[in-house]
Structure 1
Amino acid sequence: MLSDILTLTLYLIINLLTIILIGNLIFEYFSRDKTNRKGFNYLFIICFFILIFYIIENIRFFTDISKEFFWILDFSFVSVILFLIFLFSYANWEKINKSLLYLFVFTNFSAAIFELFFKIRYPALFDFVNVFFIFLGLLFFYFFILDFLMIKNAIKESKKTKQYHKKLLFYLVSCFLIFIIVLSLFYFIPYIQKSKFSGELNIYNWDTYVAEDTISNFENIYGIKVNYKTFEDDNLMFEELKLNSGEYDLVVGEGNLIKEMIKLDLLSELNKKNLQNFKNLDEKFINQNYDPQNKYSIPYMWGTTGLIINTKYIPDNTDSWDVLWSNKYSGKIGLLLNSEEAVALTSKYVGGPLMPQNNAQFEKIKEFLLLQKLLLKGYILTADLQDLLVSEELWALNIYNGNAVVAIAENPNLKYIIPKEGATIWIDNWAIPKNAKNKRNAELFLNYILEPKVNADITNEVKYATANKAAEEFLDSEVLSDPIIYPDEETIKRLDSFTNYEFSDEMNLKILEFWNELTGGEENAN
């Protein structure tokens, strides 16, 4: 909060000085007669564009105070320059004001080049408003050169004297050296930035749940080593976290698991001051019942778990979970290696709630899962299901919608269905374990992954809907229009969430014990 107040105060001072500078320039301009205004016009144009620059920057600044971290350094230089211009404005305009204004121009030009270089090197952080900023910086430099060539007294006096050529050479060499020095500094910027952060970051997440370059880009920008571990069942992740919470700095869990983790005091409260990009989230995904004020979790992706079939072997009009219990497809049926999803679809199939609320409901679910086991090819890892579906070794399977989109793209015979009995809708969230050793690095990663372009790149690749509203403008059109990724309202009416149910410790234990018995405790039974 204090840093925001200081930054805001500095910004207001700069704006005040800018107004004084422009006002002083206008006053001097119109107080001169026409003959004395010669050589003043280009200076006036420069200041006019400086004013436009600050109008644009005001719009950017007051919509996001903390986003552009390099502003404070840039504005510190600019504020000093503007203060000196104001201080000496009545002393000797021609010699002092103009030279200081040139320094101001070089400062903004340097900032523009820095912006351009940084965004080219790290395109994931690019902001299209910066195009205007870069343009103005280059424009400042253009007017500086124009002013130098057009109104220098040396040009008026003699273009052939040795004095002029020496002066011209001095200016050109100076400009070139300044440009080289500034440009060379850009190669050190990433290392300076990296020096602010160090150490490691231990992430525990689903497989294939970030883009291919998400982790490597983060490591390159911040110099933090990421150790990335994956799981196939978030309930097993939950059990692992209870035993070894200090081993992980970031975990991903569905809303109901987040609720359980909060209840067991397994999560650390988030420092929202380090999460400036939290504002990018869609309001409908924040303040959920499992974490009302998002003290502990950040919404990441949302999706559904439905049924996928191969229409070459199974009727196209199939609309029920019944296909997973059909003798006709014995040996060609699979079930995700996820206890929660297996219990949920079975409960829906037998006419119950998403999750069993009593022993009678649970016993019926057990009965149907035991019958189904005889028909299964196996319990399938998410890492394996795509190959099995595309190669047509599997004809029917419960599946996450994002995995379905990827598989269908490779085999058009595949079809994704939300069965008539109902299916699950979920929101996955990032959270920091209470005993995390690298909490600051974890929050840095969260803020990074909340960047609209970074987040959109993930959604475009993994094919799950994002909870990040600001990322939608960067999403591929085919992603936004895909009903599997973004289901319509009629489909959503058939969906249910785990967060709508209370889970007793006793029932959770029964489900886990039965699941281990059913699958033989193996990671994959196919």
Structure 2
Amino acid sequence: MKLNLISLAVATLSMIGVSAHAQDNTLRLLTWGGYAPKEVVEQFTKETGIKVEVTNSNNEEMISKLRATGGAGFDLAQPSQDRITGPQAEFKIYKPMDLTKVQAAQFIPSMLEATKKNTSLDGKVYGLPHIWGTDGLVVNTKLSKATDYPDLCAPENAGKVSMRLKRPTLIAMAFASGKDPFALYGNPKAYGALMDEMGQKLIACKKNVKFFWDGKDQLLAGLRSGELTTAMMWDTGGWELNRANPDMKFIAPKSGALGWVDTFAIPAKGRNDAAAYAWINFNMRPDIAAKVASSAGNFTASQGADQKMDATIKQQFAASFPEAALKNIKWYPAVPAGLEDIEGRVLDRVKAAP
């Protein structure tokens, strides 16, 4: 009997060891669609022996998932840079980056420094740049002459436009109204008043909206069919449509495209930091970054990856962003705690309005 108990204990410990080893060889990645293409995941596993479990998500869901678990369940997440310090201050869902484990020379220096600054809290850095891009207008130039966000609400586009009921739409409308919403981030009362004003504009605009889009497939199908002539959306979606129909163009609005940077951030209770840093350094290699960029359709923060990008994407980018438009991009700063609650209440009123 004693021998059997000893054998059982040894077997149990062995199983625990195997389970722990399996966890050590797995990276649980919370990311956006297209950011972890199969080819890249397979190459990473071949080179490192680390398996990758990919969960596709978006900013709101990432924060929700990590908040619900206190930062557990994933080893690496990819929120946008403006969604790090606010949630971190409120919910403590990330751990500081160990910059000694990052191959900094692989990053575009200016983007690395800007992102470190925008994701710093109490002197600690919580995010590093990965993919960047913009939101603006996608226009069927045969059917619409839209050049700025208010054109979504113009009478000639009635019933033929789409946008999201999300904070970028409020921000875009504010810039198009001659206001700087980012300058009010430190004044919740003034910011709330501006958002209320933009909410009223969106309510008045609802008659123009064919549908508020939630998913990529719905939006692209509407534009391809001609059901929509104009939409507020991301640049790569516009370039995808343009490759099939030259009349479809991504336009940087007169009041400025909205610029975002998606990051690498390590959840507070991640189990495998070593795998997370291995994935970061692997993804910043120019050859790998170019593959990811081709999958995502956006440019990356990898130094030299743009030289390996698809020539068509480079041409489309140049057409959408002449120098003046590039300088006019409104880059999202970090969102202070509490501001998204203000926006959420405004968006709820817009949704409920007839």
Q: TM-score range by the shorter chain?
A: 0.7 to 0.9
Percent identity between matched residues is 20
Q: 1:388 to 1:225 in 2, by over 3 A?
A: farther
Q: 1:361 to 1:410 in 2, by over 3 A?
A: same
Counterpart Cα distance in 2 of 1:354 and 1:228? 35
Q: 1:436 to 1:426 in 2, by over 3 A?
A: same
1:351 corresponding residue in structure 2? 178
Q: How far does residue 450 in structure 1 lie from its aligned partner after superposition? A: 1.3
Q: How far does residue 511 in structure 1 lie from its aligned partner after superposition? A: 1.0
Query: Which structure dedicates a bigger proportion of its chain to helix?
Result: 1
Counterpart Cα distance in 2 of 1:240 and 1:374? 35
Q: SS of the counterpart of 2:78?
A: strand
2:229 corresponding residue in structure 1? 395
2:243 corresponding residue in structure 1? 409
Q: How far does residue 206 in structure 1 lie from its aligned partner after superposition? A: 2.1
AA of the residue aligned to 1:227: E
Q: Is the 8 A contact 1:286 1:294 kept in 2?
A: no
Gap regions ≥5 residues in structure 1: 1-194, 521-526
Q: 1:249 to 1:388 in 2, by over 3 A?
A: farther
1:512 corresponding residue in structure 2? 344
Q: 1:431 to 1:513 in 2, by over 3 A?
A: same
Counterpart Cα distance in 1 of 2:322 and 2:85? 27
1:71 corresponding residue in structure 2? none
Q: 1:416 to 1:443 in 2, by over 3 A?
A: same
AA of the residue aligned to 1:368: K
2:203 corresponding residue in structure 1? 370
Counterpart Cα distance in 2 of 1:439 and 1:418? 38
Counterpart Cα distance in 1 of 2:179 and 2:60? 21
AA of the residue aligned to 2:149: W
Q: 1:458 to 1:519 in 2, by over 3 A?
A: farther
Matches within 5 A, 1:211-222: 211-222=37-48
Q: How far does residue 273 in structure 1 lie from its aligned partner after superposition? A: 4.2
Instruction: Give the counterpart of 2:212 among 379, 382, 386.
Output: 379
Q: SS of the counterpart of 1:286?
A: helix
Q: Deviations over 1:70-118 (max 9, x none)?
A: xxxxxxxxxxxxxxxxxxxxxxxxxxxxxxxxxxxxxxxxxxxxxxxxx
For CA contacts below 8 A with separation 6 or more, give which structure has more relative contact order.
2
Q: How far does residue 391 in structure 1 lie from its aligned partner after superposition? A: 2.6
1:300 corresponding residue in structure 2? 130
2:65 corresponding residue in structure 1? 240
Q: How far does residue 342 in structure 1 lie from its aligned partner after superposition? A: 1.4
Query: Which structure dedicates a bigger proportion of its chain to strand?
Result: 2
2:29 corresponding residue in structure 1? 203
TM-score by length of 2: 0.80
Counterpart Cα distance in 2 of 1:323 and 1:471? 36
Q: Deviations over 1:404-441 (max 9, x none)?
A: 11121122111111111223112221111111122222
Q: Deviations over 1:25-77 (max 9, x none)?
A: xxxxxxxxxxxxxxxxxxxxxxxxxxxxxxxxxxxxxxxxxxxxxxxxxxxxx
AA of the residue aligned to 1:445: W
AA of the residue aligned to 2:303: K
Q: Which has the larger radius of gyration?
A: 1
Q: 1:378 to 1:207 in 2, by over 3 A?
A: farther
Counterpart Cα distance in 1 of 2:274 and 2:250? 40
Q: Deviations over 1:206-253 (max 9, x none)?
A: 223343522333334434343322234x23432332223202222112
TM-score by length of 1: 0.55
Counterpart Cα distance in 2 of 1:393 and 1:353? 33
Q: Does residue 333 in structure 1 map to residue 153 in structure 2?
A: no
Q: Does residue 462 in structure 1 map to residue 296 in structure 2?
A: yes
Q: 1:238 to 1:484 in 2, by over 3 A?
A: farther
Q: Deviations over 1:349-370 (max 9, x none)?
A: 2222145832321210110122
CA RMSD after TM alignment: 2.7
Counterpart Cα distance in 2 of 1:306 and 1:283? 26
